[in-house]
C-alpha cells in the first residue's frame, strides 16, 4: 500500500485494518479456541469461588414450564468439572452440530466441483448475468437460504466465493457477501422458515406467565421480515461493493483472472450441463411429488407441516448432498471428467481430505462451546444484563433500541438463537407486556439483535468453517481477517434494521397477520 493510499484511508478503514492486524497476531484458530476453553475453565473456577449467580424467570426444559430460577456459575476445575471435561470430550465433538452437516454436504459439493459441474455452471452464469447484479443476488440467496436451516453455511458461502472469483472479483468479498446474507440476515426471509415456529413456541410459553390463553403465531413477524429481506439485500450490496471489496484490493491468488476456464462453456460441457440439469430437475420433481400428498412421510405426522419438525427439514442436508452428487456424476460421465466409479470415489475422498483442518478446529471449538454452556457463564451474563435494562425505567422506541443492542451483545456469548431466546423470552416478554408492548414486538427486536452479530462472534457454531473457507483463498487469513471483513456488515445491518423497526413503530404497522405492536 502506497503512502498516498494510506493517507486516503478513512477512520473506519484504519479501524478495520487495526482489528485485522490485532486479530491475525493471535495464535492459530485451533490454538486460540483451545485458549478460549482454558480461559473459560479458569474464569468459571474464579466466579464459582466468589459465588456469582443471577435470578430470573427461565424455562424449565424438563417440564417446559416457566419458573423463577437462580443460576450459579459452575466450576470446571473441581472434581465434577474435570470428570465432565474428560467424559464429554468425544460426545462434544461427535455431537457438534455443524460437523456432520459440513462433512455430509461437502461430499456432494466436492464431487460437483471436481467433476467440473460447478465451474461450468459458474462460467455459464458469468456469460449471461450482468456483473452489477451478482452482489445483490448472492446476498439475497444467502438470506433466503435459511428456509433450509443451516444449509446455506456450507453450500452458499463457498459458492459465493467461487461466483465472485469467476467474475474476476475478490473471492473473499463473495464469501463475505454470502456469509452476511446467510448469518447476518438469518431472521429475514420472504417465507416462513424453521426458525419462526421455534421462536414463536418459546414466546408462547413466556406469554403464558401473563396470559395463559394468548398464543404467538409462527407468522407473527412475517410482514416485517419480508421488508427486512430487501433492506438487508440493499445494505449488504452497498457494504460489499463500497467497503469490503475495495478494502480487500485486487485478488492475486489462484484463478485470479476469473478463469474456471475462460469464456463460455464448450460444446461438450454444454451437452454435459444439459444432461446434469435435466437430472437435477428430475430429482426436484420427484421430491415435490413425494411431498405434495397430505399424508406424505416427509410431512410432520401431527400437523402436516413441511417445515416445523418435518422429516423434509430434518433431511435437508442429505437431500442437498444428493442434489449435488447425482447431477455432478452425470456431468462427469458425459463430459469425460469421470471414466468410472473409481474417479467418482476418488473425488469424494478428495473433498473429505480437504476438510482435515476443519475437523481439527471443530474438535477444540466444540469443547469451548460446551464448556461455556456447562459453566452457565452466558446465562448469568444474560440475566444480569436483563436486570440492568429493567432497572433503567426507559420506555418506547428507546427501550426497544436498547433491547436490540442488548440482544446483539448477548449473541457474542451464546451462539444458539433458540438457547438465547429460551433464556431471554421469559424475562423480557412479560416485562414488556406489562409496559404495553406485544410479545411479537419483543420477539422481532430480539431477532434483529441476534442476527446482526452472528457474523462476528466465534461462538457462532459455523464460525470455524468460515475461517477454513477463507484460508482457501488467503492462507494468512485468520480470525482477525474474518471479523474485520464482517464487522461493517454487522454495524450497518444493526443500524439500518433498528431504524426500520423505529419507523415501523412510528407508523404503527402490523408485524405480521394479526400481530400488532402493542397489547
User: What is the pTM (predicted TM-score) of this model?
Assistant: 0.74
- pLDDT bin (cut points 50, 70, 90) of residue 465 is confident
pLDDT in tens, 287-313: 999 999 988 999 988 888 887 678 887
Sign of CA dihedral 162, 163, 167, 170: negative
Q: Find the helix or strand (DSSP H, E) in which 389 lies.
A: helix 377-392
Q: In terms of Cα–Cα distance, which of 145, 149, 147, 224 is closest to 178?
A: 145
Q: In terms of Cα–Cα distance, which of 417, 420, 418 is closest to 378?
A: 420
Contact 415, 369 (CB under 8 A): yes
Which of 58-72, 93-107, 208-222, 327-341 bottoms out in mean pLDDT, i.e. has the lowest?
A: 58-72
Is residue 3 over pLDDT 50? Answer: no
User: What percentage of the chain reaches a pLDDT higher than 70?
Assistant: 90
The reported pLDDT for the residue numbered 2 is 41
The rounded distance, in Å, linking the Cα atoms of 461 and 92 is 12
Cα→Cα distances 138→108, 178, 212, 237, 337, Å: 20, 6, 43, 9, 28
Contact 2, 330 (CB under 8 A): no
For residue 28, give the DSSP letter: P
C-alpha cell at 450: 441476534
The rounded distance, in Å, linking the Cα atoms of 462 and 497 is 23
Contact 76, 219 (CB under 8 A): no
pLDDT in tens, 400-458: 999 999 999 988 877 667 778 877 887 788 888 878 889 999 999 999 999 999 889 87
Q: What are phi and psi of 259, to 5 degrees?
A: -95, 95
The rounded distance, in Å, linking the Cα atoms of 355 and 106 is 9
Is residue 257 over pLDDT 70? Answer: no
Q: In terms of Cα–Cα distance, which of 72, 73, 83 is closest to 40?
A: 73
Q: What are phi and psi of 60, to 5 degrees?
A: -80, 110
Check residues 469 and 510 and name the one with the higher pLDDT: 510
Contacts of 369 (CB under 8 A, 6+ apart): 92, 96, 415, 459, 461
The reported pLDDT for the residue numbered 280 is 92
The rounded distance, in Å, linking the Cα atoms of 115 and 122 is 13
The reported pLDDT for the residue numbered 147 is 67
Average pLDDT over residues 154-166: 84
Q: How far apart are the first and last CA of the chain?
A: 57
Residue found under cell 446476498 = 139
C-alpha cell at 391: 432497572
Residue 460, judged by CB atoms within 10 A of its CB (0-12, 13-18, 19+), counts as buried
Q: In terms of Cα–Cα distance, which of 307, 103, 285, 287 is closest to 193?
A: 307
Q: What are phi and psi of 295, to 5 degrees?
A: -100, 20
Check residues 487 and 196 and name the one with the higher pLDDT: 487
Is residue 259 over pLDDT 50? Answer: no
pLDDT in tens, 64-107: 677 788 889 999 999 999 999 999 999 989 987 778 877 887 78
The reported pLDDT for the residue numbered 260 is 47
Output Rg (C-alpha) for the chain, integer angstroms: 24
- pLDDT bin (cut points 50, 70, 90) of residue 197 is confident
Helices 479-507 and 11-24 pack at an angle, to 10 degrees, of: 130
Amino acid at each position: 500500500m502506497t503512502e498516498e493510499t494510506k493517507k486516503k484511508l478513512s477512520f473506519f478503514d484504519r479501524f478495520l485494518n487495526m482489528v485485522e492486524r490485532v486479530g491475525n497476531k493471535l495464535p492459530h484458530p485451533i490454538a486460540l479456541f483451545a485458549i478460549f476453553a482454558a480461559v473459560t475453565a479458569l474464569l468459571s473456577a474464579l466466579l464459582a469461588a466468589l459465588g456469582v449467580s443471577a435470578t430470573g424467570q427461565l424455562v424449565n426444559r424438563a417440564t417446559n414450564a416457566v419458573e423463577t430460577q437462580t443460576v450459579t456459575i459452575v466450576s470446571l476445575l473441581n472434581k465434577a468439572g474435570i470428570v465432565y471435561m474428560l467424559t464429554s470430550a468425544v460426545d462434544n465433538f461427535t455431537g457438534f452440530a455443524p460437523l456432520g452437516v459440513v462433512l455430509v454436504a461437502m461430499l456432494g459439493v466436492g464431487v460437483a466441483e471436481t467433476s467440473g459441474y460447478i465451474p461450468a455452471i459458474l462460467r455459464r452464469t458469468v456469460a449471461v448475468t450482468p456483473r452489477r447484479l451478482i452482489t445483490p443476488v448472492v446476498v439475497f440467496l444467502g438470506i433466503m437460504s435459511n428456509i433450509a436451516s443451516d444449509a446455506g453455511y456450507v453450500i452458499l458461502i463457498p459458492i459465493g466465493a467461487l461466483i465472485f472469483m469467476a467474475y474476476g472479483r475478490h473471492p473473499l468479498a463473495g464469501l463475505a457477501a454470502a456469509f452476511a446474507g446467510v448469518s447476518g440476515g438469518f431472521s429475514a426471509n420472504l417465507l416462513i422458515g424453521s426458525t419462526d415456529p421455534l421462536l414463536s413456541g418459546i414466546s408462547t410459553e413466556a406469554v403464558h406467565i401473563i396470559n395463559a390463553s394468548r398464543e404467538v403465531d409462527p407468522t407473527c413477524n412475517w410482514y416485517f421480515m419480508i421488508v427486512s429481506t430487501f433492506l438487508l439485500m440493499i445494505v449488504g450490496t452497498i457494504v460489499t461493493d463500497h467497503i469490503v471489496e475495495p478494502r480487500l484490493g485486487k485478488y492475486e491468488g489462484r484463478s485470479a483472472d476469473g478463469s474456471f476456464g475462460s469464456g463460455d462453456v464448450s460444446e461438450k460441457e454444454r451437452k454435459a450441463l444439459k444432461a446434469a440439469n435435466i437430472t437435477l430437475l428430475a430429482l426436484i420433481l420427484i421430491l415435490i411429488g413425494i411431498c405434495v400428498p397430505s399424508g406424505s412421510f416427509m410431512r410432520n405426522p401431527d400437523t402436516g407441516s413441511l417445515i416445523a419438525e418435518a422429516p423434509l427439514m430434518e433431511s435437508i442436508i442429505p437431500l442437498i448432498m444428493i442434489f449435488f452428487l447425482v447431477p455432478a456424476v452425470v456431468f462427469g460421465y458425459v463430459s469425460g471428467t469421470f471414466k468410472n466409479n473409481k474417479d467418482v470415489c476418488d473425488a469424494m475422498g478428495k473433498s473429505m481430505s480437504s476438510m482435515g483442518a476443519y475437523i481439527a478446529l471443530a474438535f477444540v471449538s466444540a469443547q469451548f462451546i460446551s464448556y461455556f454452556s456447562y459453566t452457565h457463564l452466558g446465562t448469568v451474563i444474560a440475566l444480569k444484563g436483563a436486570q440492568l435494562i429493567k432497572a433503567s425505567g426507559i420506555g418506547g422506541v428507546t427501550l426497544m433500541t436498547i433491547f436490540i443492542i442488548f440482544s446483539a451483545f448477548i449473541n457474542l456469548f451464546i451462539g444458539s438463537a433458540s438457547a438465547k431466546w429460551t433464556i431471554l423470552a421469559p424475562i423480557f416478554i412479560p416485562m414488556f407486556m406489562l409496559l404495553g408492548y406485544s410479545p411479537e414486538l419483543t420477539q422481532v427486536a430480539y431477532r434483529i439483535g441476534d442476527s446482526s452479530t452472528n457474523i462476528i462472534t466465534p461462538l457462532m457454531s459455523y464460525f470455524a468453517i468460515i475461517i477454513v473457507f477463507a484460508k482457501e483463498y488467503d492462507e494468512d487469513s485468520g480470525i482477525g481477517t474474518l471479523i474485520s471483513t464482517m464487522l461493517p456488515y454487522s454495524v450497518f445491518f444493526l443500524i439500518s434494521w433498528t431504524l426500520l423497526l423505529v419507523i415501523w413503530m412510528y407508523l404503527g404497522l402490523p408485524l405480521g397477520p394479526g400481530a400488532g405492536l402493542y397489547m
